[in-house]
Structure 1
Amino acid sequence: MSRKNTHTLVRLLAASPAIFGMFSAYANEVQKVEVKGQAAAYDARRDDTATKIVVNQEEILRHGDTTLGEVLKRLPGITVGGVQGRGGDVRMRGLGSGYTQILLNGEPAPPGFSLDQVSPEMVERIEIMRAATAEYSTQAIAGGINIVLKRQVQNAQRELKTGVQVENGAYGAVSTFQLSDKSGKMSYAMSGNLLYGRQDRPSTVVTEGHDAAGREVLRRVAEDGNRGRLLAIGLSPRINWNLGAGEVITSQNFINIARSRGDAPETVTTVLGAPPRYVATATDAENKMEMLRSDLSWTKRLEQGAKIDAKFGLNYAHRDSGLGQQQYDANEVLALDRDIASDFSDKGWSTTGKYARPIGDGHAIALGWDGAYSLHDETRLQRETSTVGAPIANRDESFDATVRRVALFAQDEWSVTKQWSVYFGLRWEGIRIRSEGNSYAAIDNKSSVFSPLFQTLYKIPGSKNDQIRGGITRTYKAPNVASLVPRRGIASNNSPTTPDTMGNPNLKPELAWGLDLAYEHYLQGGGLLSASTYIRHIDDITHSRVFLVDGLWVAMPVNDGAANTRGIELEAKLPLRQMFPGWPALDLRANLTRSWSSLSMVPGPNNRLDQQTPLSGTFGFDYRFDGLPATFGGSLSFQNGGPVRIAQNQYAYTGVKRGLDLYGTWKFTPRAQLRMSLANTLRQDNVSASSYVSADGSRLTDTTFTPTFLQLRAMLETKF
């Protein structure tokens, strides 16, 4: 991005309080209507037959996080991959990327969507679904997370949050706002955020080679840099029209625009053995991204308690990227100059609908559909030059892909007795992916899954606080476009641990049967003790295997046998003052997850699912000072890693990750407070490794050491 554009958005951040002030001035002329009423006694987690954990907005905003990924890492049974404190793929049940279904307003997240694009202020609630239901996609082997953007407008609201943050000397600024009101039968709301951030995140990669006798024959040390900056704008406008007689039309939108630029220098020092072809690399990258999601929904209440819901949505995503790379040989001569320009777009539509009504004694029947279509276009132009005769690869690639998804479902929630309820669901879902490109033959990949689903809730007689849950589900994980398209991704220094990448058009979906059991004990004052267990049997497991093709190493996803995974989860919530009047105003919460898995086609030991987290836990507390308008709290998280045998000759290792986040708030007035946050206070290095063992017994290992840094945030929160 140009310096001019950077300065423009920084000025917008600085001016946001003044802009918001104009909204506030207007708000003073509007009569504010405050709706007061008795809080509903209904508790979704406690009373719904289908298991669900609902996280409200107060919990979402507690730590002053700037992205939703930071919020999710503290929730029960959820871990985040990648380097601690920097976001990553979201996982449930310890299972790696792709096994957890991410939903946005009840629908599969559109292409190009990232949780880091969502400001926590835009979210009304988060629903964690440990077992699949027919209404939502059953691409949820580990479970599902539904991000519900703000919809309901209870009263007029004007809120502004403006703050700064710093990490390793790199500063950033963030500003978020909320604007909502009612006028007759119409209500409207606007949520938005402006973000400017810089980063400086170095890492070190140590490459070691050993021969069949275990003697070290190769050692290289690569010092990698990662510096950059990001500018992003997010908006979530919505309008509700109450047409009367139980009929409502809602327009819900999500817009995100981002610009980023960075450089990643690398220098390789060879201590033992032969140096690589390129001993230094300078990389500069620039990305421009726009995303739009727009939904129009209609709700109509009918006689005898019946209800119709229908929604039609449009989505659009576009990314324009440029990369320049210069690679130098051992004589410090520019050996290869590479320029890559790529353009990606994805546009499509989706539709969902449901008819629900009570029938007979205690039955709640629902029938519905879920469909989507998307068109993916991508072009990639690569040009390389060399003055020393290094191998070059000039590429001019383009491809398109269409994804069609359709599903039909039926479900019945039956209250058999006052203590016992059951849920039955049936869902058929089919996906067809077609793709054509100028560098590969046409692809036509079709799959469909029929999913019977059962869940039950039993409230133990004689006790108002104890209940048991159970569930049996059929779920799956379908291959995505990127894993199917056989386009070659080129590695800078090709090796078994840094191979080229390529998709596999013959991939089949992974199919799973699951069993879930849970015991819940509810305490007075909102406390909770819970223990649950789960089992999953997965057929046609997909993992990445490395092959030697025409003298170059290539990683490709393949279906390879079955996997079994199981685990236990423990959770506790103890609001001490609400449970025991007169005690300190201290809320305690904790969760612990232990997971195991094994692969049928990979010999042990450690033949578990790649990226699975075997042990994770979180302990958190919140303390409200008596006599002071202040709150203090924190969250300590832990993720164990360890060695993994991915395939016959592929191994990986992930180190232990620990994180301690602290926050404090001071309320100056009922409408203004300061929130201070310290994230990643332990500053623990992140360690990961990848190994390949050849047929002759020699081993090559890459170990990455990534230092992490304290993140400090200060946020002024005001309401008008």
Structure 2
Amino acid sequence: MSASAFAQDTPPAQVDVRGKVADYDPRRDDTAARIVVRHDDLVKYGDTNLLDALKRIPGVMVNGGAGHGGEVRLQGLGNGYTQVLVDGERMPPGFAFDTLAPDAVERIEVRRAASADLPTQAIAGTINIVLKKVVRTREREFKAGIEAGRDTRSPNASLRLADKRDRFSYSLALAAMRNDFDGDVPAREEGVDAAGRPTLLRTTASREHGHLTTLSLVPRLAWTLDGGDTLALEGLATLNRFRVGVRSPVTTWLGEMAPYPRQDIRMTNDMGSMRAALEWVHRFEGGGQLETKFNASGGYTDNGSDRDAGGNPAVGPLRRDIGSTGHDRDAGTTGKATLPLWEGHALAIGWDAGRAHRDDARRERDPTQPALVIPNGDERYTGTVTRLALYAQDEWQVTPAWSAYLGTRWEGVRIRADGAGFGSARSRASVFSPIVQTLYKLPGRRNDRVRLAVARTYKAPGMEALLPHRYTTVNNSQVEPDVQGNPDLKPELALAIDAAYEREWAPGALFSVSASQRRIDDTTRNLVRFDAAGGRWVSQPENVGSATTRTLQLETHFPLRTVELRGDVARNWSHVDAVPGPDNRLDQQVPLSANLGADWRRDRFAAGANFGFRQGGVVRVSANQTVYLHAQRDLDIYASWKLDAGSQLRVTAVNVLGSDFVNDSSYATIDGVLRNRITNVRRPSVRAAFETKF
């Protein structure tokens, strides 16, 4: 087994091969490949949370939405294959990305290939969110807006203050949002026997109503010391409060009545996180520097579920009050020393060490029978993760046209967890990751280049996946199973190869084609089995063997006089050796995705649109389980007007096509097939915002 790794927030070392700073383009000149999306491109659609902004970045997919467990994916892969960092570091479990507003972000870096100074727990790649740090002039910016639709209303506001005085600078970003929603979540459950004859048909007319409140605070203080050293104190605090009530009447049209045809569920979820870091940068006379950081973070989760179900005389009513809390604490240090020992080289060594502790408790009661002891109702565990990572990297300018990046990283982790009611887990693991990247600029064509990268990466199971405590469902079945962890999980190890050809024929004009392959050992799948002892269906993660995934991606930008056109398309293939085909792809992998966008600007007026497409299809999880991915079509349109030099009005039409989120799964046995489809209805909405600098 293994566990999450943590790392620094500094980009890979770079050789200064550019004549002027203004001529430098990280995508063109850096040996370690990355796509950089700047602040102005992130905020042009007026998004109130980072998840909505991420979905328009080439190669990035977002499954779900803010407040509904949105997951960020590269190469179409979810389930933790994509590593998401903030300033190069993993956030505590209480952190939610939909609490972070784009206004606080300086840039987003997308890295398909690994680099040694970031964690290599990035089989599909890494998305690094870099917060605003540099302050050059006085900044005062305020934004206020509202998003409204048939089933949603969401006011929001943000404030950014920054200034620089002599050797001291400060910045503060504050954002708040509340989303009130009221929508339909219909479901349909069907069953057929071995001969294909219908045996079951149930429909659920679920309706949910609730609200989501988010708050984020990003402060930073920085000093320039004598001798050129810098000292910075920075923080990040987030709060997420989610409340929802769901009424789910189940109608049986054919077959046996559901155990609980009437369901009223009220759920609460509170999450919060806080991180503080002290960073010192010391510059040596010979040109090198030492960057050290000491950080501490904490987070909490508080979940509640009040279940009231009944309606079947043969089963009787069900009342349950379930509450769970978790508290996380983490302290660590990271460092990086850049050593200019040889001309044409940028050698760096670094470390990442820390210790994380988690307390978790779950309590389940029947409010009508307080003295009743519910099997596995009360659980408690404490877990500790100790980590250490050491790395070295060198970027070598072999010739003016050819550069190479060589890196190696060793990560070790020790996990210890003890629980009441479900035992304990112990593990030690280490991963050694060699990394090679190279960039070759074609002779006489500085803007035409070829890239190649080879790296060892991995994916470690989190604490929740390791501990065997169980989360139960109301109408338990093979398509609505309980969920339980597995203490025997091992990390997934991968060998990654990435290649790309990039061509720029004019400033801002780009054509890129890239290909990648990953061979993954000890692939993890969530398999559903019947627990005869407990009489319930249970989903549990298990290692099922090796898998291969491949991606081909095209990307282009066409800047014209007043219009900029852009587009990207990605085709993904994968297969899991231990799962019979066809359609034995990895973790609900999206086979095809595409984005098309256009931005137009003239004088004080700007407008644009972005269309995103995600292809659907069948994914076979195991010999018995299949998941059907439904196609998604997202169209957003925006327009902005500059009222004066410091103010503007922005209007955005969101989800114009009304594309829904659909979860569709089935389970087959020798007796037949059971299928369940849940639709989260999403309707178009309009967002309006006023922005001013003062």
TM over 0.5: yes
Greater shift in the superposed pair: 304-313 or 332-341? 332-341
The answer to whether residue 570 in structure 2 is matched with residue 586 in structure 1 is: no
Q: What per-residue deviation string (whole Å, max 9, x for no partner) do you get for residues 189-222 of structure 1?
A: 0001121211123211111111111100000001
Is 2:585 aligned against 1:620?
no
- Correspondence list, 1:109-508, <5 A: 109-330=91-312, 335-384=317-366, 393=375, 395-508=377-490
Matched, 1:699 2:673: yes
Counterpart of 1:608 in structure 2 is: 585
Q: Deviations over 1:440-459 (max 9, x none)?
A: 22210222110000000000
Following the alignment from structure 1 to structure 2, what is the Cα–Cα distance between the partners of residues 148 and 338? 43
Displacement after TM superposition at 1:87 (Å): 6.7
Question: 2: distance between equivalents of 1:244 and 1:617?
Answer: 51
Secondary structure of 1:217's aligned partner: strand
Does the aligned pair in 2 maintain the 1:326–1:334 contact within 8 Å? no
Shift of 1:169: 3.9
Unaligned runs of 5+ in 2: 1-19
Residues 204 and 250, structure 2, Cα contact 8 Å, conserved in 1: yes
Asked if the contact 1:336–1:386 (Cα under 8 Å) also holds between the matched residues in 2, the reply is no
Residues 504 and 394 of structure 1, relative CA distance in 2, 3 Å threshold = closer
Q: State the one-letter code of the partner of 1:97.
A: N
Q: Is the 8 A contact 2:188 2:203 kept in 1?
A: yes
The answer to whether the Cα contact below 8 Å between 2:92 and 2:273 also exists between their aligned partners in 1 is no
What are the equivalent positions in structure 2 for 1:57-72 lying under 5 Å apart?
A: 57-72=39-54
Q: Normalising by structure 1, what TM-score?
A: 0.91
Q: 1:594-633: CA deviations, max 9, x gaps?
A: 00001110111001112211100101110013xx411000
- Output the amino acid matched with 1:672: S
Q: In structure 2, do the counterparts of structure 1 residues 473 and 375 end up closer, same or farther at CA, with 3 Å as the change threshold?
A: same
Contact 1:383 1:394 in 2 (8 A): no
Question: Which AA in structure 1 matches 2:348?
Answer: A
Question: For residues 160 and 323 of structure 2, what CA distance do their matches in structure 1 show?
Answer: 38
Among residues 684, 688, 692, which one is paired with 1:714 in the alignment? 688
How far apart in 1 are the matches of 2:488 and 2:505? 52
Q: TM-score, normalised by structure 2?
A: 0.94
Following TM superposition, by how much is the alpha carbon of 1:392 offset from its aligned partner in structure 2, in angstroms?
A: 5.7
SS at match of 2:474: coil
Q: Which one has more relative contact order, counting CA pairs under 8 Å at least 6 apart?
A: 2
Deviation at 1:265, TM superposition (A): 1.1
Moved more, 478-487 or 460-469: 460-469
Q: Deviations over 1:514-572 (max 9, x none)?
A: 11100000121211110000010000000011111122111110001100011101100
How far apart are 1:641 and its partner, in Å?
1.8
Shift of 1:127: 0.7
Answer whether contact 1:90 1:97 (CA < 8 A) is retained.
no
**CA–CA separation in structure 1 for the residues paired with 2:467 and 2:442:** 52
Bigger share in helix: 1
1:380-407 per-position Cα deviation (integer Å, ceiling 9, x unaligned): 11002569xx996572211111112210
Alignment pair present for 1:565 and 2:549:
yes
2:644 partner letter: T
Residues 384 and 393 in structure 1, CA contact (< 8 A), matched pair in contact too: no
Cα shift at 1:230: 2.1
Deviation string for 1:132-151 (max 9, x for gaps)? Answer: 00000000011101111111
* CA offset digits 1:38-66 (Å, max 9, x no partner): 96221111100000111111011111000
Q: Which residue of 2 aligns with 1:580?
A: none
Residue 276 of structure 1 and its aligned partner are, at CA, apart by 1.1
1:652 to 610, 627, 639: 627
In 2 relative to 1, CA 319–706 (structure 1 residues): closer, same or farther, beyond 3 Å? Answer: closer
CA distance in 1, matches of 2:332, 2:118: 13
Alpha-carbon distance between aligned partners in 2 of 1:395 and 1:487, rounded to the nearest angstrom: 10
Match of residue 665 from structure 1: 640
Partners of 1:509 and 1:392 in 2: CA distance: 34
Three-state SS of the structure 1 residue aligned to 2:157 is: strand
Q: Distance in 1 between matches of 2:171 and 2:591?
A: 42
Measure how far apart 1:465 and its partner are.
1.8
Is the Cα–Cα contact under 8 Å of residues 70 and 85 in structure 1 kept in the other structure?
no
Contact 2:51 2:66 survives alignment (8 Å)? no
Give how far 1:425 is off: 0.4
Of the candidates 551, 569, 575, which is equivalent to residue 598 of structure 1?
Answer: 575
Residue 91 (structure 1) shift: 0.4
Query: SS state of the match for residue 323, structure 2?
Result: strand
**Which letter maps to 1:602?**
V
Q: 1:171: Cα distance to partner? A: 1.6
Structure 1 position 322, deviation (Å): 2.4
What is the identity percentage for the equivalent residue pairs of Structure 1 and Structure 2?
42
Change (3 A) 1:83 1:219: farther
Query: What amino acid is the match of 1:678?
Result: A
> Which 10-residue stretch deviates more, 330-339 or 254-263?
330-339
> 8 Å contact 2:151–2:683 — kept in the other structure?
no
Question: What are the Cα deviations for residues 292-332 of structure 1, in whole angstroms up to 9, with x where unaligned?
Answer: 01111111111221110011111111122322110012359
Offset at residue 713 of structure 1 (A): 0.8
Contact 1:496 1:692 (C-alpha < 8 Å) held by counterparts: yes
> Helix, strand or coil: the match of 1:483?
helix
Gaps of 5+ in 1: 1-37, 578-584
- Who is 1:17 aligned against? none
**AA paired with 2:657?**
L
Structure 1 position 264, deviation (Å): 1.0
Single out whichever of 72-81 and 371-380 deviates more from structure 2: 371-380
**Retained in 1: the 8 A contact 2:656–2:684?**
yes
Contact 1:504 1:558 (8 Å CA) reproduced: yes
Aligned length, in residue pairs: 671
| Structure 1 pair 352–649 and aligned structure 2 pair: CA distance change class (3 A) | same
Aligned counterpart for 1:511 among listed residues 487, 490, 493: 493
Q: Residue 394 and residue 364 in structure 1: after superposition, are their counterparts in 2 closer, same or farther (change >3 A)?
A: closer
Kindly indicate whether residue 652 of structure 2 is the aligned counterpart of residue 643 of structure 1.
no
- The alignment's C-alpha RMSD in Å is 1.8
- Distance in 2 between residues matched to 1:258 and 1:645, nearest whole Å: 35
Q: Take 1:164 and 1:592, find their aligned partners in 2: how far apart are those partners?
A: 32
2:560 to 576, 583, 586: 576
Task: Using the TM superposition, give the Cα deviation of residue 478 of structure 1 relative to its aligned residue in structure 2, in angstroms.
Answer: 0.5
Give the partner amino acid of 1:214: G
| Structure 1 residues 367 and 84: CA distance shift in structure 2, 3 A | closer
Q: CA deviation at 1:480?
A: 0.5
* Equivalent AA in structure 2 for residue 621 of structure 1: A
- How far apart, in 1, do the equivalents of 2:570 and 2:67 lie? 20
In 1, the alpha carbon distance for the partners of 2:61 and 2:453 equals: 23
Tell me the secondary structure at the aligned position of residue 23 of structure 2: coil
Asked whether 1:630 is paired with 2:598, we answer no
Amino acid aligned to 1:360: W
Tell me the secondary structure at the aligned position of residue 416 of structure 1: strand
CA 499–44 in structure 1, closer or farther in 2 if over 3 Å, else same: same
CA distance in 2, matches of 1:73, 1:169: 22
CA distance in 2, matches of 1:153, 1:535: 40
Q: How far apart are the structure 1 equivalents of 2:315 and 2:537?
A: 26
